[in-house]
Amino acid sequence: MELVLMDAMPLLWRRRFLSSLLLFLMLPSLFSWTPASSTLEQGAILQEVKESGWITQNIPSWVAGTDPCVSSWAGIDCDTMGNVITLNLTHVGLNGPVPNALGGLTSLIILDLGNNKMCTVCGPWNHVSGDLAPLANLVKLETLILTSNEISLSSFPMAVLRLKKLSDLRLDNTLIKGEIPVQLSTLSNLQYLYLGNNSFTGTIPGGVLGSLTNLKELAIWGNALTGLIPAELGNLANLTYLNLNKNNLYGGLPPELGKLAQLQKLLLYKNKFTGPIPDEWRGMVNIQDLEANANSLYGALPQWLLKMPSLSMLQLSNNQLRGETLSILNVSTTPGLKFLHVECNYLEGVKPQSQNITAFFDYNCWENESSLDSACVRPLNCMNFLLSINNGKCPACPSGQHLVNTTTCICYGDPERSSSTFRFAAVIGVAVAGVVLVLLLLLSYFLWRARHKTKKQVLVSHPDYFETEMGGSMRRASGIQYWEVPRGVHHFSMEELMKATNEFGKANEIGQGGFGKVFVGNFPDGRTLAIKRAGPANYSSASGLVQFRNEVSLLSRLHHKNLVQLEGFCDDGGQQILVYEYMKLGNLHSHLHGEHQGKDIVLNWYKRLEIAVNVAQALDYLHSFADPPVIHRDVKPSNILLDDNLVAKVADFGISKESSEFDTHVSTKPAGTAGYFDPQYFLLRQLTTASDVYGFGVVLLELITGRKAIEFHCPDEESSNLVEWTKGKMEAGHGGIESVVDPKLEGNYPRELFVSLVELGLKCASFKRNLRPTMKFAVSVLEPLLQESERLPQNFSPSQSLPSSTSTSNMPGDIVSDNRNNRQILDSYTRIEMDTVLFPR
């Protein structure tokens, strides 16, 4: 009968019946579903990675035999099918080559191995290394992050170039060398490419990068790239961020970049660009931040640039811009501009005024204003610059470049010749080279003879070399070579210094530091100089003399109005003596704490602010403009000296603080003074520019409070430490600014201004290094405060109101008047580029 019924059913209903029956029979298996075996296999792969020793820190949630997707392993994300698609191994101390097992996670879409440059108690720095070969199997990868690992490859990792689906590639801060490969053009899906702070050489491959039309962010800063910015970068219509700073790029700024209508941030500073800012850049209608400082740009400051509606930050300092600009800058003439830096150029006319804009105009060629060229890093002073270009000439090209366009004054790094010219020059060159070679060989021989005689005389005057000449160990003298005295530094004889100091008599002794004793010397030409004589421990070896001469060479290149100037040296008989300008009023420590011998000088509030600005400018010069950059390592009041006019100058900086890896860090032996020493040194074993910032923060608080960095007579730690004491006093209900400021000021100071100074001091003296601003930022806060303070009486009382000429609406960024805006400005340094925030300054 059932068969009869089935046969009687229509075909369509028969099929539906069978489908329902099949589904009913499958229900038990659906409800008893277990994870796919592939998920457990991926868990086993991760366990193998963990057990390989590559991950040096424990990850408790990674338990063998459990499912990484169901058990929520740390750093793991899975898709609905149970495949591991995200692996985040940041800050877990990865150390060594990528294990082969990792290549088995073929479903990975996101792999983040960044920021593993960690120091362990037991050994050296941890970081990912090797050729990254196992990563070539991860063909589904869309995001690969290796930021801040010292991979140190001699060329671009080829395994990465096999990952054709990549849209986000971050190989910044990895110390990779070689040229940027042409194979990058095959990664056509790239939207974010970060190659900054490496050691790439050669030119920027325009054809390669220009073909990656999906790019939104491109960063290749901090390399050794040379040549021009390729015009092909103008093809990247989706680009919002372009960072090419700190390379050796030259030539003119390419007009083609004006086609980047989506571009918001363009960073070109610290290259060797020449010529004008192209008018075609008007097309960057969304530009918000344009920084091209520390180049050799020449021409007028375009008025249209100042009026770009989206532009908020314009940084063009330390160039060769000239001509007149707007006399008044405010929201009506510059609708979007908030920060303008044009200091250290050759701008003319009446110095502009700024309203509601934080602007920096110093060290230009304004009318009726003296130019302080000693604080400005530029080739010529105003007079010489204007004389050199008044005949329609272009300014001199940067070193190693030559003029190729006399209309726009653009220079190139290498001569461009036609092939025929080159062949002709080659024939002539070969003939001339033969003659020159013979002459050079003869000249070299005679120079060698002359230097050998000179060297022999020097070596005999030093004990180590006397033994060598008499047949002793040659190794003791092998470190010393012929040395040419730097220009501008006087080579004093020991006899001169003996006479000037009464044979280094006790009456002439004015101090003693880590280097040795300091004497005052009076010279026949009427000069009074400070003479620092090293103790015997510093010059008892040949290597010590080499280091001393290197130090003299370095110090001879440091010139700033707020650095104590090196006048000369003496190395007769292996001595190590440095001769500096004499600072008559001694050091800041003695004036703040009543230990100055002689006339008692009470520093008023304005003078304290001025000293803070002087010190900040000096440290900013050492960090940003010295070549090579210098970390002071011992910023404290006793190393801040005062001249007759109470102008502050920083002393005691030298070769031991020179940084050859300035964009990363300097690991060195401890140095500094308790209370001013970077507290994170003992955690990270690094001294960086941020260490100087910490010391400056303590000095700034010391200027405000009159207290020492550490008061040893206080009953508890919080009271004895200046930073902690100031924090406690500034908290609500604990006295505030009135309980902090030095009682010697007797209430004569502008309250709001001093609140700003305390906030900046505490920011600089933050325990965590990444919370401290740079010295450049500190200068940008302090200089406007000093400029506005010039309008205030120096015996200013908190009970007085601000004079109308200093109404808070006219003050840059409302820095003084509004504590809320103060905090905004002091916090703005956290807008650090994504590719620099991960490395300590």
Could you give the residue numbers annotated as active site? 634
The tally of CA atoms less than 13 A away on the side-chain side of residue 751 is 14
**CA gap 779, 618 in Å, rounded:** 10
Q: Which residues pair with 145 in a beta bridge?
A: 112, 170
C-alpha torsion angle, residues 662, 663, 667, 672 (rounded to 10) = 60
Those residues with Cβ within 8 angstroms of residue 119's Cβ, 6 or more apart along the chain or in another chain: 125, 126, 684, 685
Provide the angle, in degrees to the nearest 10, between the axes of the packed helices 775-789 and 605-624: 150
Q: Are 566 and 613 in contact (CB under 8 A)?
A: no
> How far lies 6's CA from each of 20, 24, 813, in Å?
15, 19, 88
Q: Are 169 and 161 in contact (CB under 8 A)?
A: no
Strand-pair category, 577-581 with 528-534: antiparallel
Provide the angle, in degrees to the nearest 10, between the axes of the packed helices 689-705 and 605-624: 180
H/E stretch holding 564 reads none
**Which of 648, 645, 581 is closest to 615 using CA atoms?**
648
Q: Give the 3-state secondary structure of residue 563.
A: strand
**Token pair in block for residue 485:** 């005295």
Q: Are 487 and 552 in contact (CB under 8 A)?
A: no
**CA gap 395, 689 in Å, rounded:** 34
Q: Are 215 and 193 in contact (CB under 8 A)?
A: yes
Q: Give the 3-state secondary structure of residue 615.
A: helix
Q: Are 663 and 679 in contact (CB under 8 A)?
A: no
Residue 270 marked as a ligand binder: no
DSSP annotation of 710: B
**CA gap 521, 9 in Å, rounded:** 122
In 488-538, beta strands by DSSP E: 490-491, 509-512, 516-522, 528-534
Q: Are 675 and 698 in contact (CB under 8 A)?
A: yes
Those residues with Cβ within 8 angstroms of residue 611's Cβ, 6 or more apart along the chain or in another chain: 588, 603, 640, 642, 646, 648, 703
At residue 528, what are phi and psi to the nearest 5 degrees?
-115, 120
Determine the distance from the C-alpha atom of residue 791 to the mean position of all C-alpha atoms in its chain, rounded to a whole number.
34
**CA gap 322, 340 in Å, rounded:** 16
H/E stretch holding 117 reads none
| CB-count exposure of residue 421 (10 Å: 0-12, 13-18, 19+) | exposed
Q: Are 730 and 781 in contact (CB under 8 A)?
A: no
Q: Which residues are annotated as a binding site?
A: 532
Q: Which residues are annotated as a binding site for ATP?
A: 532
